[in-house]
């Protein structure tokens, strides 16, 4: 049951208060980061979850999230009126070792960058790997989708059900939205590529997306890690590509922290380490991050199929070679 339903629909109030025939023994809030990310405007009821605690003082609460920052942890504790003595917190660094990170930087136009993807869609059709392309602006979604439709020779007469690519943003129609939400998760789906804003993703669990592309940086490091979390959720090998676009590399569009990460990685830093550093919270076990940072740089080029810690991390670690004297 969503917090907004509990707090805004009168019929649910007695159940929440424990008056149901079989009162709940505990309450679980999944994706707790939404209390901060969505609570200011999109889902204002999320900021009122503390009311549930006032009604259910004898019930334990379990809060879960895969991604958080120290600022968010403090904000959530404040919103839920929690102090250090009220909580037992378990936290670990959330790596995604099966997803190779490829920092492309500024690069070329999307027509050049996505030429290989178009060839795969043309040649393999519904056998091509599933791909998500995230754009910060709906205009970019429309431009890329229009170009792909032209390359794939999709006219207005070609129905959605016969296309291997489609788009998704806040202005798509209800039937289009429902089609994408129902069709893309199917393993045998003809739909193999979705170009979208972050409107597509929350609550989506598609285990076989093998490639997630960011056409422009995510707004924050947290957003980036959440969005590449849609890649290879079944544990298979995946690939996440990050393209930086000049117009989005300003503090009006992207938080300074993410801009700094992109610049440092462009200069040779490990993308994985820079992102995970931003997701460290109080009392977290940082041994995994320390292990990543203590890797010995390569002294020679590896075989193309190498699976060493550097080669499976990111292109900066894979391509960096330290020459000893």
Which pLDDT does position 172 carry in this prediction? 87
Q: Residues 134-176: pLDDT tens digits?
A: 999 999 999 999 999 999 999 999 999 999 999 999 888 889 9
Query: Given the structure tokens 């490990």, which residue do they identify?
Result: 270
What was the pLDDT predicted at 314?
Answer: 96
Where is mean pLDDT largest: 1-15, 36-50, 194-208, 244-258?
244-258
Average pLDDT for the chain? 85
CA gap 164, 294 in Å, rounded: 43
Query: Which tops the pLDDT comparison, 92 or 143?
Result: 143
Look at residue 81 in the predicted model and tell me its pLDDT. 76
- The answer to whether the beta carbons of residues 271 and 316 sit under 8 Å apart is yes
Range 171-193 average pLDDT: 93
Instruction: Report the alpha-carbon distance of residue 63 to residue 138 in Å, rounded.
Output: 33
pLDDT of 5 above 50 = no
Interatomic CA distance for residues 100 and 103, integer angstroms: 10
Instruction: Please state whether the predicted TM-score (pTM) of the whole model is above 0.75.
Output: yes
Domains, in order of start, for the chain: 3-86 (3.40.50.300), 99-286 (3.40.50.300)
Comparing 37-51, 154-168, 268-282, the range with the smallest average pLDDT is 37-51
pLDDT at 39: 45
Q: Which residue has the higher pLDDT, 75 or 146?
A: 146
How would residue 324 be classed by pLDDT, with cut points 50, 70 and 90?
A: very low
pLDDT at 149: 97
Which of the four pLDDT bands, split at 50, 70 and 90, describes residue 287?
very high
Structural tokens at position 295: 């890797």
Checking if the pLDDT of 14 tops 50, the result is no
Give bridge partners of residue 240 from the DSSP assignment.
Answer: 101, 212
Q: Which residue has the higher pLDDT, 91 or 146?
A: 146
pLDDT at 11 over 50: no
Number of H helices, E strands in the chain: 14, 8
Helix (H) or strand (E) holding 54: helix 50-55
Q: What is the pLDDT of residue 107?
A: 84
| DSSP per-residue codes, 137-156 | SHHHHHHHHHHHHHHTT--T
Banded pLDDT at 182 (limits 50, 70, 90):
very high
Q: Using alpha carbons, select from 136, 137, 196, 138 the residue that is nearest to residue 165.
A: 196
pLDDT of 114 above 90: yes
DSSP letter at 219 equals S
> What is the total residue count of the chain?
325
Distance CA(35)–CA(273), nearest Å, equals 26
Q: What percent of the chain has pLDDT over 90?
A: 56
Q: Which of 35-44, 208-217, 227-236, 295-304 has the lowest mean pLDDT?
A: 35-44
pLDDT at 228: 94
């Amino acid at each position: 049951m969503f917090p907004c339903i509990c707090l805004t629909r009168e019929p649910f109030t007695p159940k929440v208060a424990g008056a149901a025939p079989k009162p709940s023994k505990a309450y679980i809030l999944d994706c707790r980061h939404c209390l901060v990310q969505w609570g200011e405007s999109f889902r204002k009821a999320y900021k009122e979850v503390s009311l549930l605690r006032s009604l259910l003082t004898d019930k334990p609460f379990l809060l879960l999230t895969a991604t958080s920052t120290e600022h968010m942890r403090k904000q959530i504790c404040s919103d839920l009126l929690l102090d250090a003595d009220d909580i037992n917190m378990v936290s670990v660094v959330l790596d995604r070792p099966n997803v190779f990170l490829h920092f492309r930087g500024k690069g070329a136009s999307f027509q050049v960058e996505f030429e290989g993807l178009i060839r795969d869609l043309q040649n393999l059709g519904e056998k091509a790997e599933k791909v998500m392309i995230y754009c910060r602006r709906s205009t970019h979604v429309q431009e890329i989708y229009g170009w792909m439709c032209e390359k794939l020779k999709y006219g207005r007469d070609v129905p959605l059900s016969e296309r291997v690519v489609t788009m998704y943003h806040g202005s798509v129609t209800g039937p289009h939205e429902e089609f994408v939400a129902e069709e893309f998760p199917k393993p045998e789906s003809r739909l193999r590529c979705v170009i979208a804003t972050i409107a597509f993703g929350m609550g989506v669990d598609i285990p076989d997306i093998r490639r997630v592309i960011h056409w422009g940086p995510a707004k924050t490091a947290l957003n980036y890690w959440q969005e590449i979390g849609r890649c290879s959720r079944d544990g298979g090998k995946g690939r996440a590509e990050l393209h930086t676009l000049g117009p989005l590399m300003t503090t009006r569009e992207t938080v300074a922290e993410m801009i700094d990460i992109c610049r440092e990685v462009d200069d040779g830093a490990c993308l994985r380490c820079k992102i995970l550093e931003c997701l460290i919270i109080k009392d977290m076990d940082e041994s995994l991050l320390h292990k990543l940072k203590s890797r010995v740089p390569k002294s020679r080029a590896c075989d193309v199929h190498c699976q060493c810690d550097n080669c499976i991390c990111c292109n900066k670690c894979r391509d960096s070679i330290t020459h000893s004297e």
